[in-house]
């Protein structure tokens, strides 16, 4: 740009000042003033001419700049390695550059809809109005698009062409009287996305593979038979690894370590970890099928952030989760979300009671060191939660501790047995039971909280206690959920057990031989076992009957239990209506619903599900019920070969393979019923297909 540019108007000021000085000089010396005036006239002429010349030079410079700028803009728009498209407010093309023609087989025309020319490139967010309160005057943004196009080679082979694009858009003006046009700048990022996928596919995946029922399948086998059995398992695992191009190493009798890449994990997920089914076909000499539990850790972060040591810890945690859920399954986390595969077999009952003895001693030590003990089950307590809480309370009372059994506000299911405790003439159970609403803030220095029959925080009778009390013990038999109570000092978890009452009864056996259980607590524990086993029909084992026999010796009264389970007329009518409204679906599924809020609705739904399961060829029953105005409960049952827990987990619930449930907030009954039915039907269909392959 030319320097020293000055405007004529600015120079006139200087010339005017000079003329005034000449006039002043004329008063003293006219000759000098005359000479100065002649010089001044010359300067006026020169300055005027020079200003005109510089102005013309500047105008010529500006014209050149504009011309060059226009040429550059035209060249850039025409030859930019991006597609540039201008569309109107309805998505019709108004203009595009030459490169745009290379992205479609069709010829772009003005007025053609962009999706017609280039399918999938347009996003609805372009046409959405600016959010309220936005400081922007025109809409702008960006998004990524994946397009798939099928083409045919000269030899007739069909190929699929996948391309990735980043689209940046901006409205051209915000004036109301101007056309509402939007310009799209479309950049192909296929190479970058392919590189990202290649990087992701090559990420390390570490697995811990354990024969989870090793002790059971090896019982009664000699060394040669044990070796032959594990050889079959190893062969199946090695064949699996060969198909995934992975590495496997056996590190102990029942444990293997596996290293694969992400693409191999994707293949295993696509096959739904078929190795579980293949290994399950290996039957031990004692008739028990071999089952695997697999914990998977995926390197989703950079190597400097996520070390192999952390990956190993995560794999161990996932393996523990798989075992806690009953085994015979895979537990892994992808993109922060837990996923499970398998889990179709029942958890194997452990005949060894060493863990129960060790846990009982540990609980006693924690109780003795506590100065106040709180016990609670899940909200809307059933007989199992109440019975287990009473059993733990017996331990605390034996140690002469200040103990409270915390109950939720919904006590319809246990009102009868709770009334018997209240009517007890002794002072043993006086002030033992408190409701969550009447619970005072713990003031003791070292309080202890024991949670029974649940491990999910929001399902407890008083979730606030989980925040107020640091020392927490959890006793549960349900398969482990993703949402668990954090950092308990003791987590006694046995998914193979029939009930929490059974677990607590075993703990009482080893807590102290002299502990007086009493008739009422023994009856409460016995009723909990009866409820969860459906009168010793479902999920029972040797230890279940041992616990029941122990409680009978301690005074449990089956007659009282039978009276507790008697229902009134209204409940019987509601149960009959739930059966009447049930609907049968192909595959042995029955779904029903209770649309009205009625007393003891959760127990009615459970009874309806149990009753419907007795129908011939029915393998799964699901009953939905209105718990509160904004909460719908789901009660699910299966005959044994289907896992209802997997279905309930999709709706935020959990439970056992045969008995599970969920609570869904802010849902519509008909819509939720349709969703549950669809998930259940798909699960039954997939399970039947897998069974047919065997």
Q: Which two tokens stand for residue 355?
A: 């863990």
* pLDDT at res. 6: 52
Q: In the Cβ-directed half-sphere of 431, how many Cα atoms lie within 13 Å?
A: 5
* pLDDT at res. 297: 92
Q: Are 474 and 491 in contact (CB under 8 A)?
A: yes
CB atoms within 10 A of CB 639: 15
Q: Are 560 and 521 in contact (CB under 8 A)?
A: no
CA pair distance 359, 462, nearest whole angstrom:
24
Q: Are 386 and 524 in contact (CB under 8 A)?
A: yes
Residue ranges of E strands in 181-254? 182-188, 204-211, 247-250
* Residues facing residue 622 across a β-bridge: 591, 636
- The helix (run of H) or strand (run of E) holding residue 162 is strand 158-171
Tokens 């935020």 belong to 652
CA pair distance 108, 110, nearest whole angstrom:
7
Which pairs count as long-range contacts for 492-497, CB under 8 Å and 24+ apart, including other chains?
492/355, 492/359, 492/363, 493/324, 493/455, 494/350, 494/355, 495/324, 495/325, 495/326, 495/347, 495/656, 496/326, 496/346, 496/347, 496/348, 496/349, 496/350, 496/541, 497/349, 497/543, 497/544
* pLDDT at res. 229: 92
CA pair distance 289, 301, nearest whole angstrom:
38
pLDDT in tens, 328-358: 889 998 777 788 888 766 555 555 567 788 8
Tokens 């299911």 belong to 413
- The helix (run of H) or strand (run of E) holding residue 194 is helix 190-201
Which pairs count as long-range contacts for 331-338, CB under 8 Å and 24+ apart, including other chains?
331/293, 331/294, 331/295, 331/296, 332/265, 332/295, 332/296, 332/297, 332/298, 333/296, 333/297, 333/298, 334/298, 334/300, 335/300, 338/482
Residue 462 CB contacts under 8 Å (≥ 6 apart), including other chains: 376, 406, 408, 436, 439
Q: How far is CA 683 from the centre of its chain?
A: 19
Tokens 């029972």 belong to 540
Q: In the Cβ-directed half-sphere of 69, how many Cα atoms lie within 13 Å?
A: 6
CA pair distance 140, 472, nearest whole angstrom:
52
Q: Are 345 and 328 in contact (CB under 8 A)?
A: yes
DSSP 349: P
Q: Which two tokens stand for residue 77?
A: 């728009």
pLDDT in tens, 94-111: 888 888 887 777 888 888
Q: Are 249 and 238 in contact (CB under 8 A)?
A: no
User: H helices of 90-149, where?
Assistant: 114-117
DSSP 156: S
Tokens 């009864």 belong to 505
Task: State which residues of the chain have pLDDT below 70.
Answer: 1-9, 76-79, 174, 176-178, 302-305, 344-353, 693-694
DSSP string, 471-510: EEEEEE-SPPPSS--SS-SEEEE-TTSS-HHHHHHHHHHH
Residues in the chain: 694
DSSP 134: -
Residue 451 CB contacts under 8 Å (≥ 6 apart), including other chains: 375, 376, 377, 460, 466, 472, 473, 474, 475, 476, 485, 488
φ, ψ dihedrals at 488, nearest 5°: -75, 150
CB atoms within 10 A of CB 269: 15
CA pair distance 441, 330, nearest whole angstrom:
41
CA pair distance 204, 259, nearest whole angstrom:
7
Q: Which two tokens stand for residue 651?
A: 């709706």
φ, ψ dihedrals at 673, nearest 5°: -60, -45
Q: Which two tokens stand for residue 418?
A: 């709770």
* Residues facing residue 378 across a β-bridge: 460
Residue 667 CB contacts under 8 Å (≥ 6 apart), including other chains: 632
* pLDDT at res. 205: 92
- The helix (run of H) or strand (run of E) holding residue 594 is strand 589-594
Q: Are 439 and 462 in contact (CB under 8 A)?
A: yes
pLDDT in tens, 513-569: 888 888 999 999 999 999 888 788 777 888 889 889 999 999 888 888 888 877 778
* pLDDT at res. 616: 87
CA pair distance 330, 327, nearest whole angstrom:
8
CA-closest candidate to residue 421, choices 513, 327, 527, 280: 527
pTM of the model: 0.62
Angle between helix 383-398 and helix 415-423 axes, rounded to 10 deg: 30
Strand pairing of 589-594 and 620-628?
Answer: parallel
Strand pairing of 337-342 and 83-87?
Answer: unpaired
Tokens 């010796």 belong to 553
């Amino acid at each position: 740009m030319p320097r020293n540019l000055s405007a004529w108007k600015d120079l006139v000021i200087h010339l005017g000042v000079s003329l005034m000085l000449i006039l002043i000089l004329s008063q003293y010396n006219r000759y000098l003033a005359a000479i100065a005036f002649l010089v001044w006239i010359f300067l006026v002429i020169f300055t005027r001419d020079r200003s005109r010349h510089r102005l013309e030079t500047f105008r010529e410079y500006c014209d050149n700049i504009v011309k060059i700028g226009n040429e550059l803009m035209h060249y850039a728009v025409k030859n930019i390695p991006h597609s540039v498209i201008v569309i109107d407010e309805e998505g019709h093309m108004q203009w595009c550059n030459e490169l745009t023609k290379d992205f479609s087989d069709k010829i772009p025309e003005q007025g053609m809809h962009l999706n017609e020319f280039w399918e999938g490139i347009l996003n609805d967010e372009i046409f959405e109005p600016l959010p309220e309160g936005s400081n922007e005057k025109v809409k702008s943004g960006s998004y990524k698009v994946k397009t798939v196009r099928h083409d045919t080679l000269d030899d007739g082979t069909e190929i699929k062409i996948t391309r990735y694009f980043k689209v940046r858009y901006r409205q051209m003006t915000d004036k109301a009287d101007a056309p509402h046009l939007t310009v799209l700048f479309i950049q192909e990022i296929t190479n970058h996305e392919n590189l990202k996928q290649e990087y992701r596919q090559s990420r390390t995946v570490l697995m811990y593979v354990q024969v989870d029922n090793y002790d059971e399948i090896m019982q009664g086998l000699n060394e040669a038979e044990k070796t032959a059995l594990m050889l079959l398992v190893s062969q199946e695992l090695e064949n699996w690894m060969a198909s995934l191009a992975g590495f496997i190493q056996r590190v102990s009798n029942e444990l293997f370590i596996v290293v694969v890449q992400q693409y191999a994990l994707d293949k295993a997920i696509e096959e739904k970890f078929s190795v579980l089914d293949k290994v399950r076909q290996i039957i031990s000499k004692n008739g028990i099928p071999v089952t695997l539990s697999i914990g998977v850790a995926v390197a989703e972060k950079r190597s400097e952030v996520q070390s192999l040591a952390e990956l190993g810890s995560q794999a161990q945690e996932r393996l523990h989760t798989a075992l806690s859920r009953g085994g015979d399954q895979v537990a892994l986390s992808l993109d922060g979300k837990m996923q499970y595969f398998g889990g179709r077999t029942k958890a194997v009952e452990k005949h060894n009671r060493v863990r129960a003895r060790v846990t009982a001693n540990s609980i006693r030590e924690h109780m003795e060191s506590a100065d106040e003990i709180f016990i609670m089950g899940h909200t809307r307590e059933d007989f199992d939660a109440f019975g287990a809480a009473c059993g733990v309370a017996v331990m605390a009372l034996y140690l002469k501790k200040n103990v409270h059994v915390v109950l939720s506000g919904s006590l319809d299911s246990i009102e009868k047995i709770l009334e018997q405790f209240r009517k007890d003439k002794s002072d043993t159970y006086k002030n033992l039971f408190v409701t969550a609403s009447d619970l005072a803030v713990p003031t003791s220095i070292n309080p202890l909280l024991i949670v029974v029959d649940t491990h999910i925080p929001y399902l407890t009778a008083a979730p606030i206690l989980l925040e107020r009390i640091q020392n927490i013990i959890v006793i549960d038999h349900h398969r482990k959920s993703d949402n668990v109570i954090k950092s308990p000092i003791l987590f006694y978890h046995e998914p193979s057990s029939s009930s929490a009452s059974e677990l607590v009864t075993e703990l009482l056996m080893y807590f102290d031989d002299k502990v007086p259980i009493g008739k009422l607590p023994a009856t409460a524990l016995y009723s909990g076992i009866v409820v969860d086993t459906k009168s010793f029909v479902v999920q029972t084992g040797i230890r279940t009957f041992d616990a029941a026999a122990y409680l009978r010796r301690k005074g449990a009264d089956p007659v009282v239990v039978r009276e507790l389970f008697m229902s009134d007329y209204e409940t019987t009518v509601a149960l009959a209506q739930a059966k009447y409204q049930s609907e049968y679906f192909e595959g042995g599924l029955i779904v029903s619903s209770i649309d009205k809020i009625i007393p003891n609705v959760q127990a009615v739904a459970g009874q309806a599900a149990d009753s419907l399961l007795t129908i011939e060829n029915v393998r799964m029953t699901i009953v939905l019920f209105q718990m509160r105005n904004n909460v719908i409960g789901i009660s699910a049952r299966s005959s044994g070969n289907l896992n209802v827990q997997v279905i309930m987990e999709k709706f935020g619930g959990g439970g056992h393979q045969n008995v599970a449930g969920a609570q869904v907030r802010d849902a519509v009954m008909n819509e939720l019923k349709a969703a549950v039915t669809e998930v259940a039907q798909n699960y039954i269909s997939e399970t039947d297909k897998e069974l047919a392959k065997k």
